[in-house]
Chains A and B, each alone.
Chain A
Amino acid sequence: MPSQLVRDNLRTNKLPHIWCAGCSNGIAMRAISQAIENLGFDKKKVCIVSGIGCSSRTSGYMNYNTLHTTHGRAIAFATGVKLANPNLKVMVVTGDGDCSAIGGNHLIHAARRNIDITTIVFNNNIYGMTGGQFSPTTPMENYGTTAPYGNMEKPFDICNLAAAAGATYVARGTTYHVNPLVKLLEKAMIKKGFALVDVMSTCPTYYGRKNKKGTPAKMLKYFKDNTIDTKRVEKLSKEQLENKIIIGEFKNTDELEFTDKYLELIKGWEG
């Protein structure tokens, strides 16, 4: 029998999900429902928009208003939803490829516009759905099916990218550190503005296998042993930070939000 949280937030009749055994997408999805539950949002007003990829299949399992769009375009669809109905709590669930490769342009412009959308990236450092090709977040020298000699490209840090583009809340968590992740998601969800949480997730089937990362459990444990909180970063040397994943909050500011500005404009013409 699924837990109360699952019954209240997921479409239990659509389970089991399509994800591989050992994939941590389910952990991330559960964390999202937990955050929504904790915040007490009106679920009839929650709208989850996703692109294409394993991660993007999340929308179909969540029991809110859900929109599964085209590869890379979730944020652009979400922008239309949010501007058209600002009363909706609009969130995007996307993959590292979906949001930083094909959808990179939409990501930076939504951040620049500071539109009230919470973007949650399931970042598994690989294109999972299409079978393990390298993505813009695959570390250098790692293997993918299209990087048979090791990845020669420098990866994106999605948090830096979003922050530089103008997002008002930026954080990173992992599917190992679930409780802190839920807290980060909550803060992102209540931020009035463009918020992004980069959720480090695991794809044992492709990324793990190609890069000899061991069992699904071992991949999660890697997060435990190799993450450093943003609060500790300043105290550490460059060497100590090498190959570490920095988690926690990177940016939390308040700025005028786009749909609020638009509603002001409309108000000026009323009456």
Chain B
Amino acid sequence: MKVKQIKLMQGNEACVEGALAAGMKFFGGYPITPSTEISEISALKLPRVGGKFIQMEDEIAGIAATIGASLTGLKSMTATSGPGFSLKQENIGYAMLAEIPCVIVDVQRGGPSTGMPTAPSQSDIMQAKWGTHGDHPVIALSPNSVSETFHLTIRAFNLAEKYRTPVFLMLDEVVAHMREKIEIPVASELEIFDRVRPEENDTKYMAYKVPANHLVPPMASFGDGFDFHVTGLMHDEFGFPSNDTDNAEKLMNRIMNKVNDNINDIVDYEESFIKDATTIVLAYGITARSAINAVKTARERGHKVGLFRPTTIWPSPEKQIKKLLKNVKKIIVAELNLGQYVLEIERIVAGQAEVFFLGKANGEIITPTEILTKIEEVI
């Protein structure tokens, strides 16, 4: 990998750098700890590259403006934390049904309500999956380092553009604020995906029809000369409201299946010491940093323990986990909440292994010692 720059920066900064590298040209948001630096750095950097930043009057408006901007063809992002993530949910569902690509960063902080604004958590994992009403496709990524934040932000944009859907980047306060070394690759080393647009002379353009050999309908931009309609109502292939039940079923299946049928492309994960492991720790984000430390110590003590770290949280790595069950008899799910992703793992495992839970919601991270203790307790 050719490196352009080696820098020391925090996760929030790496997120903006990744977004800019991916081609972000619009940011609409509302400040909230611990995501605020993403707004601040976007405000500083976007106009320098011909992009636009706007601080909206609230988070609902932040996501609304982000979606509006995406419809003019700009790669767009918003960032927030728990309370703001809750406010954005209705419009997130809008973007899912209307198939508007954008990236939504949620830097998770402690507690429900205002909770502990400066403390880390991983307690919006289920909100990412079920926060907006109705059935809907969800893609959510979770990095565990500053460098990975850079790369997963790019990946979030790529997936959003490719699948025409909002993508969540689920940071936590520690990854967002810790400073680490990061090697920023030269632009030519990065894979960047831009949304498929209709042919300029396509007089028969149908805004919501998937042409042969396409994943999603090509997306025109407002002002390009295609007159088209976008709505959050159930719509036909032209984009106009329809109450037809067959049409609704077809559309729902299509927006769900564009994710479900491409799990192999979307799901990503990292395995460490997995080969002969009979027990694994499953952790993501900052908790995986403690977990790898604990797993290494456990290995030194002769325990056959491995780490499974999903970087794609949703859709979950179901196939990979099921494969592990040939050897693995015990799974410890460690996460900074009182039991969220563990429910998904229990569903996948379906009694084929014992699932143990290690969680916390007091504003502190889970330490390597705590994970090690849990490993030795269950082994």
Interface residues of chain A, those whose CB is within 8 Å of chain B, are 14, 43-45, 47, 49, 59-60, 63-70, 73, 76-85, 87-88, 105-106, 109, 262, 265-266, 268-270
Q: Does B32 contact A (CB under 8 A)?
A: no
A65 contacts across to B, CB distance below 8 A: 222-223, 227-228
Residue in B closest to A63 when the chains form the complex, CB atoms: B227
Q: Does B94 contact A (CB under 8 A)?
A: yes
Q: Does B229 contact A (CB under 8 A)?
A: yes
- Most chain B beta-carbon contacts within 10 A, residue among A63, A65, A80: A80
Q: With A78-B68, A83-B26 in contact, is A70–B227 under 8 Å at CB?
A: no
Residue in B closest to A115 when the chains form the complex, CB atoms: B54
Contact of A262 among B47, B58, B69, B229 (CB under 8 A): B47
Contact of B68 among A59, A64, A80 (CB under 8 A): A80
Report Cα–Cα, A216/B253, bound state, in Å. 43
A68 contacts across to B, CB distance below 8 A: 229-233, 241
Report Cα–Cα, A114/B188, bound state, in Å. 40
Residue in B closest to A72 when the chains form the complex, CB atoms: B60
Q: With A73-B61, A76-B61, A106-B57 in contact, is A84–B227 under 8 Å at CB?
A: no
Q: Is the CB of B26 within 8 A of A80?
A: yes
Q: Is the CB of B57 within 8 A of A80?
A: no
A43 contacts across to B, CB distance below 8 A: 227
Contact of B72 among A88, A106, A109, A270 (CB under 8 A): A88
Q: With A80-B66, A84-B68, A262-B52 in contact, is A70–B61 under 8 Å at CB?
A: no
Q: Is the CB of B61 within 8 A of A84?
A: no
Report Cα–Cα, A229/B241, bound state, in Å. 39
Instruction: Give the shortest distance, in Å, between A265 (CB) and chain B (any CB).
Output: 5
Report Cα–Cα, A173/B69, bound state, in Å. 31
Report Cα–Cα, A87/B222, bound state, in Å. 10
Instruction: Give the shortest distance, in Å, between A104 (CB) and chain B (any CB).
Output: 10
Interface residues of chain B, those whose CB is within 8 Å of chain A, are 25-26, 28, 47-50, 52, 54, 56-58, 60-61, 64-74, 76, 90-91, 94, 221-223, 225, 227-233, 240-241
Residue in A closest to B93 when the chains form the complex, CB atoms: A70
B67 contacts across to A, CB distance below 8 A: 77, 80
Q: Is the CB of B94 within 8 A of A76?
A: no
- Most chain B beta-carbon contacts within 10 A, residue among A43, A70, A77, A87: A77
Report Cα–Cα, A269/B66, bound state, in Å. 23
B94 contacts across to A, CB distance below 8 A: 69-70
Known: A67-B229, A69-B91, A262-B52. 20 other contacts (CB 8 A): A44-B227, A65-B227, A66-B227, A66-B230, A68-B230, A69-B64, A69-B94, A69-B232, A76-B61, A76-B64, A79-B56, A79-B61, A80-B28, A80-B65, A83-B26, A83-B52, A83-B54, A83-B65, A84-B52, A84-B68
Secondary structure of the A side of the interface? helix
B26 contacts across to A, CB distance below 8 A: 80, 83-84
The 6 closest A-B pairs by CB, nearest first: A80-B68, A80-B65, A76-B64, A84-B69, A76-B61, A85-B72
Q: Is the CB of B61 within 8 A of A83?
A: no
A83 contacts across to B, CB distance below 8 A: 26, 52, 54, 65, 69
Q: With A68-B229, A68-B233, A70-B94 in contact, is A85–B64 under 8 Å at CB?
A: no
Instruction: Give the shortest distance, in Å, between A129 (CB) and chain B (any CB).
Output: 12
Q: Is the CB of A269 within 8 A of B48?
A: yes
Instruction: Give the shortest distance, in Å, between B173 (CB) and chain A (any CB).
Output: 27
Q: Is the CB of A85 within 8 A of B90?
A: no
Q: Is the CB of B60 within 8 A of A76?
A: yes
Q: Is the CB of A67 within 8 A of B230?
A: yes
Report Cα–Cα, A162/B94, bound state, in Å. 27
B69 contacts across to A, CB distance below 8 A: 80-81, 83-84
Q: Is the CB of B229 within 8 A of A80?
A: no
- Most chain A beta-carbon contacts within 10 A, residue among B54, B70, B71, B229: B229
Report Cα–Cα, A2/B65, bound state, in Å. 36
Instruction: Give the shortest distance, in Å, between B222 (CB) and chain A (any CB).
Output: 4
List 18 contacting pairs A-B, 8 Å CB cutoff, sorted by A: A47-B222, A49-B68, A59-B231, A60-B240, A60-B241, A65-B223, A66-B228, A68-B231, A68-B241, A77-B64, A79-B64, A83-B26, A83-B54, A84-B26, A84-B52, A85-B73, A85-B222, A109-B61
B28 contacts across to A, CB distance below 8 A: 79-80
Instruction: Give the shortest distance, in Å, between B132 (CB) and chain A (any CB).
Output: 11
Instruction: Give the shortest distance, in Å, between B295 (CB) and chain A (any CB).
Output: 45
Residue in A closest to B230 when the chains form the complex, CB atoms: A67
